[in-house]
Amino acid sequence: MKHFLLALLAASAAAFHAPVALAQAAGSGEPVDGIVAVVNEDIVLRSELDHQVAQVTTQFANNPSQLPPRDVLERQLLDRLILQKLQIAKAADSGIKISDAQIDQTLTQIAGQNHLEVGQLRGAIESQGLDYGQFRNNVRDQLLVQQLRQRIGQSRAQVSEAEIDSLIKNGQVRSGQLHTAHIVINVPEGATPDQIDAARTKADDVVKQIRGGMDFGAAAIRYSNAEDALQGGDLGWRNVNELPPAFIDATEKMQEGEVTEPLRGPNGFHIIKLVGKRDGGAQMITEYNVQHILIKTSELVSSEQAKQKIEDIRRRIVGGEDFAKAAADYSQETETARLGGDMGWFAADAYGPKVQGIIDGLKKGEVSQPFEAPPGWHLLKLVDSRQSDKAGEMQRAEAKNMIFQRKAEEEYTSFLRQLRSEAYVEIRLPGGDTGASKPAS
């Protein structure tokens, strides 16, 4: 999340300063901020690109020689800005909307991960000379792209039970986690043998430079065509089953810090660095059997009234009344009331951290204090607890997620290629390719 905060700060700087630069130029008689790319009906301003470049060069201020020449870096960053704008526009056209509540929740998460309150986060943003409102807009854009990615994956990546069975039968569902980073050297769609050889030669040269002492993150920024290149290609910690089989096989016998030879993939050549490994751990989980009583709040029943009623019910239960009878008589949770409030067996975290904390504080047979959570006031009784081996269930869930993640990633990569190829993009960088790609169909 810290990387997310830094990325948002950088992107917000570009988005915020671009219109300011235009206004200042217009008022001072200086040349108006230039356009470096036309993207369908949108544009990329020179100031947007300059701030992206400034962010990267600041990051590598102590090792500037590890960055590519200015013109190469500009083109790489411009390509990413173009793709970002295309994704945001596509999300908007698809009817994806982000509410203020979703933005507030994300800002709270960002602040928490950086050990800040939301007010402190705002202060940190404004101390960088950024506009907080524009920062919120940038968070909205990030969430739009996330939801677009989820929608594409969910609509195109289907997983069958037969695929899950086959994966488990072949022993391809593994435990543990890997922390990896990667560099992608793209090969054009329908590439000629000469283009493939050129990409392979480039990938070999990148590996040689890294093994010769070049920082992997700097190499990713300089050479990688992946979306996460600006983060040094860092993929973070992931369950091994979420990674492509080639990643797992290549890193199986590697030591931390080692880098693979270039691996041929569907879209080009991949260079992988193993940052870390850790075991998956045991698959034993704690389950609880709990009885439950609910008194709902409504326009006719205030929170205080519901609280008084459930406190009265608890007094009678503590005084000797059977919990199951009280649940059947008074609980407004219809599904469990007819079962005497029995919620069956469930995992410790099934109903969120608040409920888990309350249950963890109960002894067997003990009744909780009333507590409020949507849709009203609740009372719980811990009937029993047990340790369960969920290896089989977890293995199937892991296998399904593994297949889905791989398919979703492939589908979204294909979607981005199509999105880019169908867009009208005109590059206006000095000395670069100023031609326009074909317009969208």
Query: What tens digit of pLDDT does each residue of 205-227 get?
Result: 999 999 999 999 989 988 998 87
Q: How confident is the model at residue 129 (pLDDT cuts 50, 70, 90)?
A: confident
Q: How confident is the model at residue 140 (pLDDT cuts 50, 70, 90)?
A: very high
User: Which residue in this structure is represented by tokens 């630069």?
Assistant: 21
Report the C-alpha gap between 81 and 382 in whole angstroms.
54
State pLDDT tens for residues 226-281: 878 878 899 888 877 677 777 888 888 889 999 999 999 878 899 999 999 887 55
Q: Which two tokens stand for residue 402?
A: 């593994």
State pLDDT tens for residues 363-400: 999 999 999 988 999 999 999 998 875 556 667 777 88
115: left (phi over 0), alpha (psi -120 to 50) or beta: left
Closest CA relative to residue 141, chosen from 3, 1, 4: 4
User: Which residue in this structure is represented by tokens 């870096």?
Assistant: 73
- Report the pLDDT value the prediction gives residue 280, as an integer from 0 to 100: 59
Q: How confident is the model at residue 339 (pLDDT cuts 50, 70, 90)?
A: very high
Domains of the chain: 2-156 (1.10.4030.10), 176-281 (3.10.50.40), 284-389 (3.10.50.40)
> What is the pTM (predicted TM-score) of this model?
0.52
State pLDDT tens for residues 291-305: 999 999 998 999 999
Lowest average pLDDT, out of 31-40, 270-279, 339-348, goes to 31-40
- Report the pLDDT value the prediction gives residue 283, as an integer from 0 to 100: 59
- Report the pLDDT value the prediction gives residue 168, as an integer from 0 to 100: 75
Degrees to nearest 5, angle at CA 258 with 255 and 263: 115
Instruction: Over range 46-60, report the average pLDDT.
Output: 84
- Report the pLDDT value the prediction gives residue 391, as an integer from 0 to 100: 57
Report the C-alpha gap between 58 and 125 in whole angstroms.
17
Q: Is the peptide bond before 375 cis (omega within 30 degrees of 0)?
A: yes
State pLDDT tens for residues 5-27: 444 444 444 443 333 333 333 34
Contacts of 66 (CB under 8 A, 6+ apart): 60, 214, 215, 218, 219, 222
Residue type, 23: A
pLDDT for residue 184 is more than 60: yes
Closest CA relative to residue 368, chosen from 359, 297, 376: 359
Reported as type and span, the H/E element at residue 328 is helix 323-330
